[in-house]
Structure 1
Amino acid sequence: MTGRAFIPLIPLLNTRVASSRAYATGNEPHTPPTGHVADKLGRPLRDLRISVTDRCNFRCTYCMPKEVFDSGYRFLRHADLLSFEEIARLARIFVSHGVEKIRLTGGEPLLRKDLHKLIAMLASVKTRDGTDVDIALTTNGSVLARKAQQLAEAGLKRITVSLDGLDDAIFRRMNDVDFPVRDVLNGIDVAAAAGLAPIKINMVVKRGVNEHEVVAMARHFRGTGHIVRFIEYMDVGTSNRWRMDEVVPSAEIVQLLAHHFDLDPVEPNYSGEVAERWRHRDGSGEIGVISSVSHAFCRACTRARLSTEGKLYLCLFAGLGHDLRTLLRGSELQPAATDSQLEAAIGHIWRARDDRYSELRGPLTAPMPKVEMSYIGG
């Protein structure tokens, strides 16, 4: 493959967003909103996921299958990426709209050079009530051991590690590279020692591949203080050849775990939490499941997603993004937007949001164009 097949699905939407004049004159003073901006379904904007790179050193079959993302694949040029300064500027504006949590994703975010500098910039951003923004990161753990201390010192608060099996052969079937599980586990230990504990471990469960690793994964992390979350295999993007019969429903996962452990349900930490939680009755930890296929949580979704090149997506399964980079940088047709104009544009986009793909998933949604997970961030 010689090009990014999904690019036609996410054009520059100049007619929709990249004309900030439609939303603000630029003459009014910049004043943060007094409350959360809400979409058409009443969902506030609370969480922002920022993809800092579309590159990854793994080729997970459910995200970046090797037959598509091969040596001929054209990734984004560095000039196309948002700079750290541009990301931090947008983050401040999103926070003015009520965002309280920012998660850095990819691709593999730790492949972005000097990422700790961006984290330090974001760590200086305060919410409307003056508290620190919760800054988290999702990683495959491959270089975590080398970077964990630096990330923590820069202001990273939390970390999630993707780990789809404990057996090297199974791990390889999922990520399609020759990388030892022990190195990921070492990265988790180093991150915990750096102060990033408790760490969340995300395991995508795919029938016929790694479902028999579920109990082993729960047992391995029991008593460590870390939280394992089992994620239903999702139809994100168009390249992973997703099939419903490869999904292991979360109810089946919980039933399997309950056969081996005494578990009690736990109330959500906050409204809109995506994971359903269970605690080991003996107090040795907890596990969670994320049921985006079998039990969709669209009606409580408060997440916006900023792609590597500055497009705003309102759903993980979206096919179209709203171009903020052109607003940031300007063009031959219009000057760069002011903060006030960017704030107005983002508010306008969110208020028009009515996405709920997972609730509507079916034969009619399967062929719909969707952006790849490695581009938008998981």
Structure 2
Amino acid sequence: MNKLFIFLVPALLCTLIIKGQEVTPLPDSTQKVKITIKGLFQARYVFSANKNVDLNGLHHTDGKAIYNDFDLKRVRLQFASKISDRTEVNLLLNLADFKSDPANKVLENAFITYRLNQYFHFKMGQFRPAFGLENMYPVDVIKSLDYSNQYTAFGNNGWQSFQIGASVFGDFKGAVPIKYEVSVVNGNNRNKAMDNDNGKHFSSRVEFGLVQKLNIKLGLNGGLGLVSGSQVYAAGVDISGVIPICEKWSLEVETEAKQGNNHTFYYGLDTAKRVGEVSGYQMRGFYLLPNLRYAINYHRLSSLEFSCRYENFDNDFRHTKNPRRTFTPMLSAEFLKSYNARIQFGINIDRYKRNVSGTTQYNNEQFVIQVQSRL
């Protein structure tokens, strides 16, 4: 009953919001098909301070780790075709995935959106469902080097990142602006020939604009799913906002906490090693990301930013109880506008409650220099 409540609270809020609004259809019009093409280039140099820990965080007992590398992180092409005033098709490709086995990779977004009115939109295809703050913006405008550890884990479990399914969403103006989305997805990640079972992931998000002058937003997220006949859940809450300090200085802050079943970890264990049911295997995480921005606007240099994300994440807090604490200080220089050109220098500092030799649960510091261009 508690897990059902987690999903129903945001979903019921969505329903009440829709019923309380007058539906005004968008005006019909005829127009030519418009296609826009955008791109993103990210390249980086990565260096591990511990020569026995490779760039994926895996500890090598034989001392044969690859601890430094030049890498193409993302080479994206985005296509958007507005075929009418109500309908739009989006495609997003990451060509950097061709550097390794491209199976189940390369294609990221592929969906169609139909807009009935501002309160009701429909989307179907492969996309990132609205669950968690980090699913609400692209990686090229993130205030850190990459998404958080919990984003990756919840993505592997079918809640975040790219999933195949459908959703309804919309927004409402007023003293407290509200956005909502309700999604149903396969929950077994992107580019799969078909679902791996008959279960689906149902999730919902409601976002409230609390203080518009400071752009303070509160997000409530909840989800229920069925995986291999077992019920799973996920829930989270997030807050973000911008605090102006003076004319050129501002502080952007976001924080998020999530908890849910780690069924990917459970079904990845040998049957003999499993303790109880999948309901007993749960993950939870919390992060705080402050970003201090100085709008310098000197020639082509737009701003300097300094952020330091702190995260505490445990992928199985009821059994292994070996939480991962990650500190990510980062200095960023933005050129032009809207991160069209960006240089970042940062460090991922991982600390575990206890080191486990021969695994990814091992302390390490990883230095990253990254260049980015949005086309």
Normalising to structure 2: TM-score of the pair?
A: 0.30
Q: Which protein has the bigger helix share?
A: 1
Higher relative contact order (CA 8 A, sep 6+): 1
Q: Which has the larger radius of gyration?
A: 2
Q: Which has the higher strand share?
A: 2
TM-score by length of 1: 0.30
